[in-house]
Amino acid sequence: MHATIQKPITEILRFIRPGEKVFVVGCNNCAWKCHSGGPDETKAMAERLTRRGVDVVGYTVPGPQGMSLCKLDHTRKVLQQDYAEQTRRADSFLVLGCGQGVHTVIDATDGAMVHPGCDTIFGGETVSESDIQEFCSLCGECVIEYTGGLCPMTLCSKQLLNGPCGGAEKGMCEVDPERPCGWVLIYERLRKLGRLELLDAYQPPKDHAKWSRPRRLEVSPFEATFCSQAGRVTVSNQD
């Protein structure tokens, strides 16, 4: 999931010009889980803005619970058909969702002015209803086979691939003494699994061309093509 956190209302208010008519859009998936843009927060945002004198022409959170704002065809239908009257009057859209959702609203409205209502902070695991944690950096070249599934690009502050730096203190990271050293976590996990030999091999530098932006994925039921500065890589899911 894409973790998001609402921007402070004071920052959002600075985005909106005097007299600007605003339509508020939330997301029924990730932003709902983050309490940054679900139905409750989207309704509340409309009210908070109205209270502060902003002309809010409407609000919605497309789809049932679990539906992502970033599913373009559905968001387009909701904004252009279901809410056509309000969205036609809107000068801009305040999006309570991740950066992908913001772009989806641009596409769904054929290029309307948008305002980000949230900061998109990371892709994470919903550990509990109140705790979302980051375990993957979306680097495009997964190395976690040899680390017992724990990502050094994410759990190590320096993204080291061949073991820890010398900075950890009693198993805690030099950057944040409250947080365990990612490499100590990897080591302890593999030790318990009896698979420490996985750490012996030299790990080459990452291919950062695969971490280039923007990237694209072309998908079909039978194969997918990952497009990045490293080129186009097609993989079958059938053979």
Partner 1 sequence: MKITKLFQRGEFVITGEVGPIKGAVSRDWRVSPSCAQEAWHLQDFVHAVNVTDNQSAVMRLGSLAASVGLKQRGIEPIFQLTCRDRNRIALQSDLLTAYSLGIDNVLLLTGDHIQLGDHKSAKPVFDLDSVQLIRMAKGLQAGHDITGHDIENPPDMALGAVVNPNFEPLDLQLLKMRKKIDAGAEFFQTQAVYDDRVVDEFVAKTEKFGRPIQLGVVMLKSPQMGAFMNRNVSGISVPRAWIDEIGSVDKADRKKKAAEMMGRFIARHKDKFQGVHIMPLGWTDVVPEILEHAGISVAAAR
Among residues 14, 40, 127, 163, the one that binds partner 1 under rule CB under 8 A: 163
Beta carbon of residue 161, minimum distance to partner 1 (angstroms, whole number) = 6
Beta carbon of residue 143, minimum distance to partner 1 (angstroms, whole number) = 12
Among residues 50, 162, 234, 237, the one that binds partner 1 under rule CB under 8 A: 162
Beta strands in 81-141 (DSSP E): 92-96, 113-116, 118-128, 131-134
Closest to 41 (Cα-Cα) out of 60, 22, 55: 60
Neighbour-count burial of 97, counting CB atoms closer than 10 A to its CB (0-12 exposed, 13-18 middle, 19+ buried)? buried
Beta carbon of residue 3, minimum distance to partner 1 (angstroms, whole number) = 21
The piece of 22-30, 111-119, 163-171, 213-221 that touches partner 1 (CB under 8 A) is: 163-171
Beta carbon of residue 210, minimum distance to partner 1 (angstroms, whole number) = 14
Q: Closer CB to partner 1, residue 80 or residue 137?
A: 137
- The answer to the question of residue 126 lying near partner 1 (CB under 8 A) is no
CA pair distance 212, 237, nearest whole angstrom? 24
Closest to 211 (Cα-Cα) out of 235, 228, 233: 228
Q: Closer CB to partner 1, residue 31 or residue 185?
A: 185
Q: 214: cis peptide before it, omega within 30°?
A: yes
The piece of 38-46, 54-62, 105-113, 170-178 that touches partner 1 (CB under 8 A) is: 170-178
Binding letters toward partner 1, positions 179-208, x by CB under 8 A: ----xx--x-----------xx-xxxxx-x
Does residue 88 contact residue 49 with C-beta atoms inside 8 Å? no
